[in-house]
Structure 1
Amino acid sequence: MAKGVILELHRNSGNWAKTVEEIVKLERKIFPKHESLAKFFDEELRKKNSGLLYLDVDGELVGYVMYSWPSSLYASITKLAVKEQWRRQGHGEALLEAAIQKCRTRKVSRILLHIDPLRTPALNLYKKQGFLVDTMIEGYYSSDRNAYRMYLDLDAS
């Protein structure tokens, strides 16, 4: 894995607009239009209990993870994406681990996410980190695309 640094995007930072613009471009490229948060990204990030971590490698944004914590009971991983040419190098895993750690510091009990069962690399990543399949939600993404709801319980220690 090329050395990079995981940074947290802060609302008042000088690089807010540039970083959000880069993430929106990546979002549009990776996700189908009906799954993309591109139109609402800035709005989502301005919510009080949401966060975004991104991986910077030599000045290039190569991936990000977006999460929210509506309460101390649970948090949600809402997006995790890595540029295609940077995949299979441990970047997604590093971003996911960083988001899990952020949730631990907020004393969250459980992390939830939804994943298309056909996205095998992503599914394997989540399982590797200890996420378990809770249930299948039929028609989650579209009438013919389902999702697994997965969870990770964080220990109280």
Structure 2
Amino acid sequence: MANVAILELNGNCGNTVEEIVKMEREIFPEHESLTSFFHDELRKKNSGLLYLHVDGELVGYVMYSWPSSSYATITELAVKEQWRGQGHGEALLKAAIQKCSTTKVLRIMLHVDPLRTPAVNLYKKHGFQVDTLVEGYYSSDRNAYRMYLDFDSS
């Protein structure tokens, strides 16, 4: 049985950050990658990052922030290709939703490429709805769905 752990990045985790930056570069095209301002994002008080290890290997991560008291944003969710389809992305998403819910926001938003069907289906499975299609979001020829999940305000 594999040892699976979701950990929160905090303090001095230099090696983990470098692993995540390397993974980010491998998964996302350069113009979509956050690597250029990754460290700046992590320094913000209103942001967080969870990462998933399987038997000590970094498998995936999710970065989120809550820029206002009314909503949070999932800015990145990534799982290494050879680990996809095994529930790791879902585990990270659930953990991020839980973390965002503790900030008392009313809504979580994210953007996803409509062509990334497994990702779109994962978000829909967890209650996210498509708000709109944002043309040219990633590049002039790549659009994104803006999706949201509302928390019950009662």
TM-score by length of 1: 0.94
Structure 1 distance, partners of 2:58, 2:9, is 12
CA distance in 1, matches of 2:148, 2:117: 17
Q: CA deviation at 1:58?
A: 1.2
Q: Percent identity?
A: 78
Measure how far apart 1:3 and its partner are: 4.0
Q: Distance in 2 between matches of 1:51 and 1:156?
A: 23
Q: For 1:68, which of 65, 70, 91 is the aligned residue?
A: 65
Structure 2 distance, partners of 1:2, 1:77, is 27
* Counterparts of 2:140 and 2:35, CA distance in 1: 22
Displacement of 1:2: 4.2
Counterpart for residue 6 of structure 1: 6
Aligned residues: 154
Question: Could you tell me which of 14, 17, 30 is aligned with 1:17?
Answer: 14
Name the residue aligned to 1:83.
80
In the aligned structure 2, how far is the partner of 1:102 from the partner of 1:61? Answer: 20
The residue correspondences of 1:31-110 to structure 2 (distance < 5 A) are 31-110=28-107
Aligned-pair RMSD on alpha carbons?
1.2
Whole-Å separation in 2 of the counterparts to 1:128 and 1:3: 26
Superimposed CA distance per residue, residues 9-37 of structure 1 (whole angstroms, 9 cap, x where no aligned partner): 01x23xx1101100001000000000001
Contact 2:46–2:65, Cα closer than 8 Å, also in 1: yes
Gap change, CA 1:148 and 1:48, over 3 Å in 2: same
1:151 equivalent to 2:144? Answer no
Once superposed, which parts of structure 1, at least 4 consecutive aligned residues long, lie more than 6 Å away? none
Matched residue SS, 1:40: helix
TM-score (norm 2): 0.96
Indicate conservation of the 8 Å contact 2:2/2:55, yes or no.
no
Cα distance in structure 2, aligned partners of 1:85 and 1:111? 28
